[in-house]
Amino acid sequence: MTLLRIVLPAAAAAVLVFTAPVPLPASGQNANGLFEMPLLITSAGQSPDVQLAVILAKRAGIDHSLSKVAAAGDLAAGAKSLAIVVGASLKGLGAAGIDTAKEKDRVKGLLAEAEKRNIPVLVMHLGGEQRRGQLTDEMIAEVLPSAAWALVLKSGNHDGLFTRICEEHGISLVEIDKTAEGAEPLKSVFKPKD
């Protein structure tokens, strides 16, 4: 009788766990293990936010490399996933010697090569509301539809732009309150190292 009392509540609890609504990514599929290492991290807009992505990748234990101005050829060096950190900085573009048209063309070429090589893309926007603006928004509209997963600082999605694009294209979206919170969700979407 005592055993029956222990087993029944446990079974009931198991049913509750599996029947309770579980929030799924926007695509309706589990994003865990979606990406493989190594990860190539690059910028779309040349903001310093790309360095935040590097810090998150390190904290998450993800084998990665950084090329702020990665081109299609960089994907041939063995990258299995591509992270594009969206955030425009006129100062950053100037320092890189790139105008906005060249930056957009570079990113388009990179996305086309990733699609050709079946390399999944993840998009990050880590600069929050202050990093938003016309040029950043144009890059978001250009880059985000190619993503399989997006990690966004919640204040950068104050107007729901990321939510709308992700819902329209079936992209998994994770919002974080602070950049430091991004390591765990980032780690969760990568297959563990062999």
pLDDT in tens, the chain (194 residues): 333 333 333 333 333 332 222 233 333 344 667 899 999 999 999 999 999 999 999 999 999 999 999 998 899 888 999 999 999 988 888 898 889 999 999 999 999 999 999 999 999 999 999 999 999 999 999 999 999 999 999 999 999 999 999 999 999 999 999 999 999 999 999 998 76
Structural domain contains residue 12: no
Alpha-helix runs per DSSP H in 69-193: 90-96, 100-116, 134-143, 161-169, 183-188
Structural domain contains residue 193: no
Position 2 scores a pLDDT of 39
Structural domain contains residue 108: yes
Structural domain contains residue 119: yes
Structural domain contains residue 159: yes
Do residues 4 and 45 make contact, with C-beta atoms less than 8 angstroms apart? no
60-82 residues labelled b (16+ CB within 10 A) or e (exposed): bebebbbbbbbebebbeeebbbb
Instruction: Count how many domains the chain has.
Output: 1
For residue 64, give the H/E element and its range. Answer: strand 64-66
- Please tell me the chain's helix, strand, coil percentages from 3-state DSSP, rounded to the nearest 5: 50, 20, 30
Please report, for the domain that includes residue 57, its CATH number.
3.40.50
Q: Which residue range is the domain that position 33 belongs to?
A: 24-188
Structural domain contains residue 106: yes
Structural domain contains residue 157: yes
Structural domain contains residue 18: no
